Amino acid sequence: MTVIFSKKCEYGLQAILYLAANDNSDVVKSEEISHILNIPKEFISKILQSLTESGLVYSKKGKSGGFALAKAPNKIRLIDIVTAIDGMSMFNNCVLGFPHCSPDHPCPLHEQWGELRTKAYNMLTDETLDQLKEKTLKKIGHLKN
């Protein structure tokens, strides 16, 4: 169940982590990503195209086409993917959707959400994709079984 990110963002995060964990520098077909991560093929293709437009993913067309990271894994953070797909609204808006929520006019969850929001932001900015490679490979290994 998605709590913070849209389903599109969750899938985008998974796909980029998969691409980053891929040792070979060749492109990966969307069908492979779809199959391994159990994401509908049409959906993952649209997400990867969106990530291509954002400059995080490279797309190669044709029979031997597919997708690869457009930047080195040590230059991409999870926050880059979240920003490209969902934007930064979760870090700027009231968790309950109240307009004009601020420290001067807080909603009932303002203080608690502020702490969680800061922790989430820090978690997404602290590590680069290359630092998450081993954990990603371990998770992918479990998905294949």
Give the C-alpha separation, 111 to 118, whole Å: 11
Q: Judge whether 123 lies within some domain.
A: yes
Query: Is residue 65 domain-resident?
Result: yes
Judged by average pLDDT, the poorest of 75-79, 121-125, 141-145 is 141-145
SS3 111: helix
The residue with greater pLDDT, 5 or 48, is 48
**CA dihedral (54, 57, 60, 65) positive or negative:** negative
Select from 44, 50, 9 the least CA-distant residue to 30: 44
Q: Is residue 2 part of a domain?
A: no
pLDDT of 82 > 70? The answer is: yes
The answer to the question of residue 1 being in a domain is no
Global confidence as pTM: 0.88
- Is the predicted pLDDT of residue 23 greater than 70, yes or no? no
Domain hosting 45: range is 7-144
Count of domains observed in the chain: 1
**Domain at 44, CATH number:** 1.10.10.10
Q: What is the pLDDT of residues 1-15, one digit of tens each?
A: 456 889 999 999 999
Q: Is residue 130 part of a domain?
A: yes
What pLDDT score was predicted for residue 145? 62
